[in-house]
Each structure stands twice: as structure tokens, then as C-alpha cells.
């Protein structure tokens, strides 16, 4: 859009010698998104000394007073506090700043940001401010000294008051949107709302009525969400009865049921090695007898924590157990949230920054020049950012000892950063309190448009690189896919060398039809808020996290999540399972869960960026053509029948076939290269549909560097399976290096010495069949160690 951030800058009143009238000139730096908006037009004298008045002097005092009153009322409607309750009278809303055409935030006079502002209210604030400032009637767009266009009110086309906006030559025309009122400084809201992202509710400043309403919702949601949670817990325990009976039967027949697990022998081996290491830690003898596969690692990375695992919610503790460490940065998003960014580092090569250096540095992104990390070695490591999944934190990448993805990449030679989305374990905002419903008025759009760019920007600043690699799992892939869309924040793609998606969550799997998910889908938005509240989603879960013993909490967490999402720990190291669930759940907004499971958004359309009608038409088209390894073949009638049942008529299919392949593309030429690893046994999301979308040419601008389907993998196996280092991690390491844009300036990661640079002209190599992707045998785990190292 005509970024509202580009409509600022210095203003000077110029008086042409031969003209008795005044002209307002606005010079707008096109690439300065954060210039000061508080400047006001200043009046200058003519050459003869006669007083020259601005346009505002032509208006009556009554009109000016009315404009001031309207602006004041609108500002108070969007303020942090009511004026009567505000201790700091100076901190009032000044204007709405548009991050994207659909994502405004209110900027206060003290520079604070207030999120959760509906489009219409944001535009109204800006228009009222413009009236108060008495902006010009005519606006001229100048490029390279030449007037390229002129807009204004029809009655003011020949007005003697003119506003000139200078734009850079490389600024595209679609970045400046006109409104019929003639001003480019404040655009009108979009004419329609994306059905996949309905407007968020407006919560004004605190008042007696709003506080009472909030308390009522908090009371009802506590008991109703508690009842919902108890139903889920009881359902999880009830469905565990057959498994308990099976275990008892195996014991009665003198058999060990664990021997049926695919990696049982390796689990026994690792558990013994871990116990031996714990004993040796007690005797301060860390460098002896660590096991055949750990000696070389121990010589290079000396653990500074050890002994029996107390199971703590601290990623730094688990990093120190493998000879690494983690420092925490605080990052401020453009809408004022403070989120956590963790940096994984080798203490022998890097000096931890001071607390002050790791604090938040304001809401602006991609504006500060980067710095170099304090790395004592020669060439720097290439930076990689990891984003977590739904209800998790980035600690999910740190729970598998040496085989944790974060530690694996760090020891391979990458500079690893772990991003956490808003709220997490400790909800923080610059001015909003936890009890303010605006603190939780956000969904996946805000996570993609605000959180992800803020994290990427901070990593770029701290490392001094122009681009980084991005790895995301589940919801992390969703927020990235949303952010990179051409209607959202596609400029983010220029900051990424590659986007690696693990279990990409773009299309819903069959699990969305379960009864407990259907309940959330059938209730109205108003009833959803009565049941789950206006703030965090079932915050009682986080209270239980603090109160319950960690082993009990981990066991119960696995049972509940396994019941909800229909996955198992078959391929995980069971001895670490309680640790894995210490980093989930975290605080997420009820609005976010309504986006995932409510009647309006993902659960209804079963896609993050396309309506169900469009998805059904594409499925019918894929079935009609039946080409490609991931296409719907003649024998796969499920998709076609589902499409017909959902209402995709023959006319809709014909209309879809008549369209060019890229007509419904989500991404444009700014999209970075993609790499995808799909869990073939994942009922929560359908990664094959996303592969099919890319393979069938619906995204002509997306370049797929790598794709793989692991048939036996479930949703969390892509990060927690015991053979994930051989199946996925080693390939991730190579993809990150082949797409690195500064290979000659960076340290070559281990195992990537022979990896050639990726050529963008190369065509994607689609796998021939899923069955050739992986092996479920234990030979894969043991045989792949040579490639892994």
C-alpha cells in the first residue's frame, strides 16, 4: 500500500515570488518508514514581508474546534487509558501507522504502540488528524523532478494550495494508493475483508463497563474452559485403557512390549550411556568412557551441567549439558510486544553480551545497520533462525541432547537463533497489561506480519548479515507462509536465503473433523469468547505447569496432546519424553485458537490462504489431470469426492481449468527459495497438498530447492524422531549451505565440504514416490551416522 510511514518527513512552506498564495510542499523519503510524524506546517513570510497564511486560516474557528473535538474523541476511543485516568496526559494517540495495508497500529505521542486496531477506526483517526492539520486539497506525485500524477477533490483541481510528494525512482506505483478524497497521506481502508482473516474485535481503553464485562468473561471462561479441559483429560486417560491392558498382557506372558518399538535397541543403548555419564559427572570425570559415538564430541564440547536430569523448563540448561550455552535477547515488535530470542553459542568461540546489549531496541525493523558477533575465530558462521509450532516454545528444538536440531546445527557450524512468538511463557508488552484484552487480541496474521520480521531483523542486526536461513515447524511454517504472501509482507523474502518448512501447515488434515474440534467450529464467535474468554487460551494449563511436578506434568502433557492430535512417541526416545513437554503449552490468545479452530477461518476453509471453494476446485482439477508424484491419481477418488461433496460444481471446475496456472498464486517474485519435509503419516496437516500446489505450477514464482516425504513420520517426528538427524537434519544442513549467498565469507559447515551452490535456474527435483524417501528400520539410524557427522 502507500505505506503510511512514507507520508511523513519535513514540511516547509514555500512562497513563490510571483504568487501571493501559499504552497505546501511535502518531501517524502520513500524508504524511510519511521520518520517523525509530529511535524506541523510552518508559515513563512513573503518577500515583501506580508503575512502568508496556510489553508487552515481560511476555515472558521467553529470548524476547527469541531475537527479538534472529533479527533480528540477518536483518539480517546483508541487510547491506552481514558484521559481522566491517564497519569501521563501527554501520551495520547497521534496517528495510525500501517505496517501493511491491513495491519495498523496506533502510535502515541510518546512513541508507544497500541495493537488490535480495526482498519476503519485506524483510517478514521488518520483522516480526522488530516482535517485538523488542514491538509492540502491537491496532491502531486513527483518522481525525478517530474509530476507523474495528480489527485485531489474534483472541486479543488484548480486550487492554489498544492501538496507535492517526492518518491524515489525505484518505488513502484502500487506502493502509493489513491483515495477519492484526494489525499495520499491517509488511504481509505480496503474495500473488502479477506474471508480467511476476519476483523478482530475492538477493545477500547479501560472503563468501568469494560472492566465488568472482562470480569464476566473471565469468570465464565474459567469454568467453561476448565470443563472443556477436564473432558479432554478424561478422554485421554480413558483412551489409554486399551494400551494399559495390552502392557499388562505382555507382562503376564513374560514379554516386553517395548521391544516392538522401531528403535528399541538404540533407546536401551542411549539410556545406558546417559546413566553412565551421569555417574561420571558425580565424580568429575567427564572426559572418560562417554561411549563410542560421544568421545570426539566431548573433547570438543565440554558440558558444564550434568548429572540426573531434573527436567526443567530452561533451554540454557540443556545446552550446557552438551557443551553449549544460550543467551536471551528481548525483541520489540512493531505493535509493541516484547518477545524472546535465544542465541545458541559455543562458549569457547563467543563472549556473551551484557544485559543492556540484549534488551529490546524499539519497534522499528530493518533500519539499523548490522554489527559483527564477537567471534574469536576467523570466518563467521552463517546465521539460521528456527521458529516453533503451535502451543510450543523454541525449547522444543533443545530437548534431544546431541540430536536436538538447535544443537545439531550449532555444532555443524551454523550460528543458531531460536525465535519465540508473542506471549510465550511470560507475556510482555510495552504498555498493555496482562489483564487488558488488547494484549491477546491477535491471531496468526499478527504473528507473521509482526513477530517474524522483528525476529529476523534482530538476527540481521546482531550478526551483520544481509540475509539469514529460516527453519520453521508446523505453526511456524504457517506464519511464514502468511507473511511471505504477496498481500501480506512479501518484502520479508528479500531477507531470507531459504525457507525450510518442517511438517508445513498450509492445509488441514483429516484430524480437523474430530468431535472436540467440531465443537469449536460449530459455536459462534460470541459463544467461543464466552467459553474461552478474551485473553489467553485456557491459562489454567500454564498454572498447572508451575504447580505440578515436572515428571507428572510431562506424562500428562503427552497423554493430552497425543489424544488431541493423534500422534505417538513410537519414534522418539521415550526416556526424554517428559522433558519434551516442559516447553508446551505456552500462552496463546483465544483469538488465535479461534482462527485455527473456529467457524470462520482455518477449520472452515481447511487452508491458510485460500477459501474452501478455491481448494475444492483445485482438488477437482488435480484429479482431472492426475499428473505428478503428488497429484491425485485415478485411484485416489477421495479428494474428488470430497470436493464434490463440498460443493465444487462442474462450472467451478471448468472456470478453474480456464484460468492460467499462476492466476491464484499466493506469492510473487519476492518469495525466497523453499525446501519442504513432509510427514507422510500426519493427520493434523496435509503437506502433500502443498507439494502438489507447487508441483502443478500454481506458484510460478516459488523455487523449490528440496522436497521430501517421509511416509512413516507423524507431525512431531520431524524434530523429535530418533532418526531425524539422518532423515532430515543432515539434509537441512546441506540445503542451508547450498542456498547461502555469501559462501566465500562464511565458515564451511561440517559435512558440507562437497555441497555445491544452488543454481536458481535448476528445476525442482520432485521425488519419484514416497516409498523411496526413507526407511523405518533401525539400520537407517545406525547406518546414517557416517553421513550425519
Contact 96/128 with Cβ under 8 angstroms?
no
Whole-Å CA distances, 454 to 329, 440, 515, 613: 12, 18, 37, 34
Concatenate the DSSP letters of all residues of 565-627 into one string. H---STTS-GGGHHHHGGG---B-BHHHHHHHHSSSSHHHHSBSSS-HHHHHHHHHHHHHH--
* 474 belongs to the catalytic site: yes
- Catalytic, out of 309, 415, 682, 723: 682
Q: Dump the DSSP string for 467-487.
A: -EEEEEETHHHHHHHHHHSTT
Active site residue 38: no
The CA-to-CA distance between both ends of the chain, in Å, stands at 48
CB-based burial of residue 299 (10 Å sphere; 0-12 exposed, 13-18 middle, 19+ buried)? Answer: exposed
CA distance 461 to 614: 40
401: left (phi over 0), alpha (psi -120 to 50) or beta: left
Q: Is the dihedral of CA 281, 286, 290, 296 positive or negative?
A: positive
Cβ(197)–Cβ(602) below 8 Å: no
Distance (Å, rounded) from C-alpha 611 to C-alpha 606? 8
At 286, is the secondary structure helix, strand, or coil?
A: coil
| Neighbour-count burial for 127-151, b at 16+ CB within 10 Å, e otherwise | bbbbbbbbbbbbbbbbbeeeeeeeb
Question: Cell match 513502484: residue?
Answer: 172
Determine how β-strand 414-419 pairs with β-strand 162-167.
unpaired
Give the active site residue among 6, 225, 393, 474.
474
**Spatial contact of 755 and 787, defined as CB atoms under 8 Å apart:** no
d(CA 573, CA 560): 18
Contact call for residues 685 and 474 (beta carbons, < 8 A): yes
Which neighbouring-strand residues pair with 508? 685
Catalytic residue among 715, 717, 723, 774: 715
Cα separation, 431 vs 139, whole angstroms: 36
Q: Is 715 a catalytic residue?
A: yes
Phi, psi for 639 (deg, rounded to 5): -65, -40
Q: Tell me which residues are annotated as active site.
A: 474, 682, 715
Amino acid at each position: 500500500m502507500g505505506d503510511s510511514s512514507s507520508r511523513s518527513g519535513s514540511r516547509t512552506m514555500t512562497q513563490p515570488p510571483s504568487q501571493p498564495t501559499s504552497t505546501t510542499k511535502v518531501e517524502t523519503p520513500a524508504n524511510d518508514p519511521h520518520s517523525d510524524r509530529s511535524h506541523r506546517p510552518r508559515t513563512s513570510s513573503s518577500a515583501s514581508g506580508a503575512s502568508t497564511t496556510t489553508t487552515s486560516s481560511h476555515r472558521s474557528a467553529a470548524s476547527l474546534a469541531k475537527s479538534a473535538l472529533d479527533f480528540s474523541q477518536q483518539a480517546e476511543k483508541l487510547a491506552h487509558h481514558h484521559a481522566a485516568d491517564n497519569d501521563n496526559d501527554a501520551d495520547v494517540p497521534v496517528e495510525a501507522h500501517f505496517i501493511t495495508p491491513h495491519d495498523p497500529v496506533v502510535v502515541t505521542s510518546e512513541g508507544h504502540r497500541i495493537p488490535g486496531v480495526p482498519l476503519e477506526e485506524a483510517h478514521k483517526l488518520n483522516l480526522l488528524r488530516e482535517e485538523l492539520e488542514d491538509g492540502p486539497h491537491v496532491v502531486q506525485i513527483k518522481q525525478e523532478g517530474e509530476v507523474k500524477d495528480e489527485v485531489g477533490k474534483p472541486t479543488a483541481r484548480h486550487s492554489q494550495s498544492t501538496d507535492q510528494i517526492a518518491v524515489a525512482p525505484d518505488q513502484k506505483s502500487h506502493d502509493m494508493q489513491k483515495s477519492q478524497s484526494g489525499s495520499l497521506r491517509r488511504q481509505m481502508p480496503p474495500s473488502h475483508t479477506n474471508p480467511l482473516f476476519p476483523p478482530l474485535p475492538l477493545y477500547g481503553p479501560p472503563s468501568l463497563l469494560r472492566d465488568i464485562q472482562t470480569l464476566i468473561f473471565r469468570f465464565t471462561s474459567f469454568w467453561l474452559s476448565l470443563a472443556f479441559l477436564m473432558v479432554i483429560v478424561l478422554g485421554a486417560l480413558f483412551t489409554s485403557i486399551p494400551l494399559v491392558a495390552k502392557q499388562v498382557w505382555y507382562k503376564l506372558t513374560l514379554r516386553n512390549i517395548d521391544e516392538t518399538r522401531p528403535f528399541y535397541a538404540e533407546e536401551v543403548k542411549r539410556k545406558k550411556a546417559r546413566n553412565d555419564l551421569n555417574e561420571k559427572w558425580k565424580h568429575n570425570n567427564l572426559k572418560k568412557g562417554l561411549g563410542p559415538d560421544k568421545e570426539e564430541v566431548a573433547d570438543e564440547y565440554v558440558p558444564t551441567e550434568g548429572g540426573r536430569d531434573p527436567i526443567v523448563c530452561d533451554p540454557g540448561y540443556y545446552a550446557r549439558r552438551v557443551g553449549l550455552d544460550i543467551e536471551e535477547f528481548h525483541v520489540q515488535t512493531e505493535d509493541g510486544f516484547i518477545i524472546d530470542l535465544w542465541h545458541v553459542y559455543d562458549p569457547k568461540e563467543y563472549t556473551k553480551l551484557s544485559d543492556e546489549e540484549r534488551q529490546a531496541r524499539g519497534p522499528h525493523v530493518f533500519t539499523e545497520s548490522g554489527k559483527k558477533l564477537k567471534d574469536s575465530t576467523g570466518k563467521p558462521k552463517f546465521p539460521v533462525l528456527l521458529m516453533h509450532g503451535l502451543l510450543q516454545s523454541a525449547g522444543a528444538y533443545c530437548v534431544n541432547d546431541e540430536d536436538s536440531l538447535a544443537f545439531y546445527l550449532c555444532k555443524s557450524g551454523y550460528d543458531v537463533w531460536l525465535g519465540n512468538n508473542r506471549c510465550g511463557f511470560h507475556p510482555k508488552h510495552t504498555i498493555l497489561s496482562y489483564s487488558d484484552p488488547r494484549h491477546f487480541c491477535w491471531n496468526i496474521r499478527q504473528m507473521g506480519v509482526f513477530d517474524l520480521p522483528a525476529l529476523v531483523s534482530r538476527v540481521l542486526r546482531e550478526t551483520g548479515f544481509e540475509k539469514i536461513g529460516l527453519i520453521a515447524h508446523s505453526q511456524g511454517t504457517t506464519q511464514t507462509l502468511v507473511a511471505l504472501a504477496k498481500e501480506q509482507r512479501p518484502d520479508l523474502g528479500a531477507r531470507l536465503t531459504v525457507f525450510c518448512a518442517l511438517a508445513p501447515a498450509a492445509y488441514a488434515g483429516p484430524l480437523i473433523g474430530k468431535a472436540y474440534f467440531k465443537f469449536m467450529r460449530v459455536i459462534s464467535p460470541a459463544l467461543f469468547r464466552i467459553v474461552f474468554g478474551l485473553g489467553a487460551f485456557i491459562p489454567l494449563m500454564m498454572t498447572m505447569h508451575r504447580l505440578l511436578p515436572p515428571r507428572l506434568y510431562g506424562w500428562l502433557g503427552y497423554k493430552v496432546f497425543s489424544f488431541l492430535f493423534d500422534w505417538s512417541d513410537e519414534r522418539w526416545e521415550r526416556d526424554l519424553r517428559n522433558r519434551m513437554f516442559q516447553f508446551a503449552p505456552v500462552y496463546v490468545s483465544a483469538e488465535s485458537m479461534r482462527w485455527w479452530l473456529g467457524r470462520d477461518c482455518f477449520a472452515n476453509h481447511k487452508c491458510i490462504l485460500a477459501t474452501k471453494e478455491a481448494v475444492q476446485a483445485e482438488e477437482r482439477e488435480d484429479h482431472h489431470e492426475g499428473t505428478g508424484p503428488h497429484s491425485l491419481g485415478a485411484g485416489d477418488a477421495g479428494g474428488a469426492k470430497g470436493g464434490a461433496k463440498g460443493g465444487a460444481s462442474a462450472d467451478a471446475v471448468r472456470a478453474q481449468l480456464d484460468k492460467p496456472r499462476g492466476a491464484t498464486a499466493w506469492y510473487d517474485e519476492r518469495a525466497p527459495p523453499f525446501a519442504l519435509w513432509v510427514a507422510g503419516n500426519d493427520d493434523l496437516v496435509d503437506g502433500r497438498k502443498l507439494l502438489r500446489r507447487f508441483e502443478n505450477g500454481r506458484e510460478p514464482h516459488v523455487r523449490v530447492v528440496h522436497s521430501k516425504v517421509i511416509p512413516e513420520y507423524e507431525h512431531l517426528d520431524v524434530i523429535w524422531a530418533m532418526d531425524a538427524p539422518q532423515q532430515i537434519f543432515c539434509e537441512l544442513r546441506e540445503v542451508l549451505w547450498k542456498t547461502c549467498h555469501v559462501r566465500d565469507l562464511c565458515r564451511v559447515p561440517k559435512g558440507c565440504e562437497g555441497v555445491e551452490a544452488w543454481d536458481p535456474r535448476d528445476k525442482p527435483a520432485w521425488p519419484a514416490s514416497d516409498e523411496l524417501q526413507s526407511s523405518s528400520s533401525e539400520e537407517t539410524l545406525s547406518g546414517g551416522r557416517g553421513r550425519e557427522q
